[in-house]
């Protein structure tokens, strides 16, 4: 009965280009229910009449400032999520009017595969929240009182004690390389809560641009043989000497569905590198001693994280862990250190599945005693030289 009553995921697509709207509907109509409106005023009237919209995808050329000001004035639209289609890749989503609603930005020539991944994550997240009786935003997962009191007391004490060190490190970072002292990035923590996680900057300012060229160096890559040759056919089609029998079209390019699915299975869920070339000279020392993690004491003070828990993940990694078995890891507090760090940290042989299982084990068994043991082990592990 629950499956029969499940409401489909509703998307409002605000776009005045009919060809773009047709392309979007053809690509994603089998995943979500799509309503298309050609201008912001029409979209606002539709939202007023239909409170069941789960997501708005908005063309930024259609006066987004007006649109966001209007939805901010409506109490019943305070939780509305928006994906912006924009040529402005440098928009600061923390600032108004975007900060309260925009969860992602895609360029006008977006990859259908990438947007499908994002939509699939949002659909699964909404379905998971409904299956456990959560409202749209999800009920909070409360941290045990004893754990929170411990975090507050220790974080305040450590911050006061280490304040001279923090000041010295900040000065050295400024002298070592160009760029800001601190680095903040979006992370997914307890109950899929998204927050800004702080670190001392240890990388070059163009580190994100270098990431795509470094995929082959990822420590979590799976050592599996690549199938298919340069002609894009799978082994079955080549053996039968036929053209591709399972064509799939992505971004107007034909690929073999069998090869595409296998490549997706082989893609690692996490990213970590040995001897990362993006790291600065001072950054290597800060990472080896874990001094770069010290600003996360402010995250602990705010309640975003705990001293011990599962590491909060970037959104692109969290999107891959929405299956019910994997999602269990998000039931535990997000942590500065955790079970994975003290058992597998810095080893080449760790797999993404091992890491997930350690996170799930912690979520099922964590206690004050467990946390104290992990903290003691962290003191030993933190000084090892790993260059990752």
Contact predicate 201/178, CB 8 Å: no
- Measured CA to CA, the distance from residue 222 to residue 105 in angstroms comes to 30
Those residues with Cβ within 8 angstroms of residue 165's Cβ, 6 or more apart along the chain or in another chain: 291, 294
- Measured CA to CA, the distance from residue 119 to residue 112 in angstroms comes to 10
Q: Mean pLDDT across the stretch 350-357?
A: 73
**Nearest to 359, CA basis, from 301, 317, 296:** 317
Q: Is the pLDDT of residue 87 over 70?
A: yes
**Nearest to 81, CA basis, from 39, 45, 123, 36:** 123
Q: Is the pLDDT of residue 142 over 90?
A: no
- C-alpha angle with apex 100: 97 to 101, nearest 5 degrees? 90
Q: Mean pLDDT across the stretch 300-312?
A: 92
| Residue ranges of the chain assigned to CATH 3.40.50.2300 | 10-131
- Measured CA to CA, the distance from residue 42 to residue 47 in angstroms comes to 9
Tally the residues of the chain: 388
| DSSP 8-class letter at 304 | S
**Nearest to 212, CA basis, from 265, 254, 271, 264:** 271
Backbone angles phi, psi at 369, to 5 degrees: -65, -45
Q: Dmax of the chain from CA atoms?
A: 71
Q: Is the pLDDT of residue 300 over 90?
A: yes
253-256 and 247-250: which strand pairing? antiparallel
Locate the DSSP E strands across 74-139.
Answer: 81-85, 102-106
Q: Mean pLDDT across the stretch 88-107?
A: 67
What local confidence, expressed as pLDDT, does residue 151 receive?
94
| Backbone Cα Rg of the chain | 23
**pTM to 2 decimal places:** 0.51
Torsion of CA 264, 269, 272, 277, to 10 degrees: 30
Q: Mean pLDDT across the stretch 226-248?
A: 60
Taking the domain 10-131, which CATH number applies?
A: 3.40.50.2300
* Greater pLDDT, 276 or 183: 183
What local confidence, expressed as pLDDT, does residue 255 receive?
62
H-only helix segments in 29-63: 40-49
Those residues with Cβ within 8 angstroms of residue 85's Cβ, 6 or more apart along the chain or in another chain: 15, 57, 58, 59, 60, 105, 106, 107, 108, 110
- Percent of the chain beyond pLDDT 70? 65
Contact predicate 293/162, CB 8 Å: no
Contact predicate 291/167, CB 8 Å: no
- Measured CA to CA, the distance from residue 259 to residue 246 in angstroms comes to 10
Q: Both tokens of residue 106?
A: 């895609």
Contact predicate 203/280, CB 8 Å: yes
What local confidence, expressed as pLDDT, does residue 194 receive?
83
What local confidence, expressed as pLDDT, does residue 199 receive?
92
């Amino acid at each position: 009965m629950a499956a029969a009553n499940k409401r489909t995921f509703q998307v409002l697509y605000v776009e005045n280009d009919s060809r773009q709207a047709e392309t979007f509907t053809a690509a994603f109509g089998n995943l979500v229910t799509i309503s298309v409106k050609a201008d912001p005023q029409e979209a606002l009237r539709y939202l007023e009449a239909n409170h069941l919209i789960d997501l708005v995808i908005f063309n930024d050329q259609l006066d987004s400032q007006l649109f966001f000001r209007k939805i901010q004035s409506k109490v019943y639209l305070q939780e509305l999520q928006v994906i912006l289609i924009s040529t402005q890749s440098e928009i600061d989503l923390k600032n108004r009017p975007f900060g309260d609603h925009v969860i992602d930005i895609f360029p006008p020539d977006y990859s259908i595969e990438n947007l499908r991944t994002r939509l699939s994550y949002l659909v699964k997240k909404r379905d998971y929240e409904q299956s456990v009786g959560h409202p749209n935003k999800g009920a909070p997962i409360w941290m045990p009182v004893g754990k929170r009191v411990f975090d507050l007391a220790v974080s305040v004490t450590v911050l006061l004690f280490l304040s001279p060190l923090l000041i010295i490190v900040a000065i050295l970072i400024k002298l070592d390389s160009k760029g800001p002292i601190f680095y903040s990035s979006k992370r997914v923590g307890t109950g899929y809560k998204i927050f800004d996680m702080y670190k001392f900057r240890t990388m070059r300012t163009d580190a994100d641009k270098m990431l795509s060229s470094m995929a082959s160096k990822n420590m979590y890559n799976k050592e599996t043989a690549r199938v298919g040759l340069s002609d894009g056919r799978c082994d079955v089609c080549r053996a039968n000497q036929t053209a591709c029998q399972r064509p799939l079209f992505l971004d107007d390019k034909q690929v073999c569905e069998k090869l595409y699915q296998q490549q997706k299975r082989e893609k690692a869920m996490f990213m970590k590198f040995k001897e990362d070339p993006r790291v600065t000279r001072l950054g290597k020392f800060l990472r080896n001693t874990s001094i770069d993690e010290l600003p996360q004491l402010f995250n602990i003070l705010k309640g975003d994280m705990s001293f011990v828990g599962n590491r909060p993940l970037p959104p692109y990694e969290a999107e891959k862990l929405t299956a019910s078995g994997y999602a269990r890891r998000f039931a535990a507090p997000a942590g500065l250190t955790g079970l994975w760090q003290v058992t597998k940290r810095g080893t080449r042989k760790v797999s993404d599945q091992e890491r997930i299982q350690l996170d799930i084990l912690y979520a099922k068994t964590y206690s004050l005693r467990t946390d104290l043991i992990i903290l003691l082990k962290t003191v030993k592990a933190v000084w090892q030289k790993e260059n990752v």
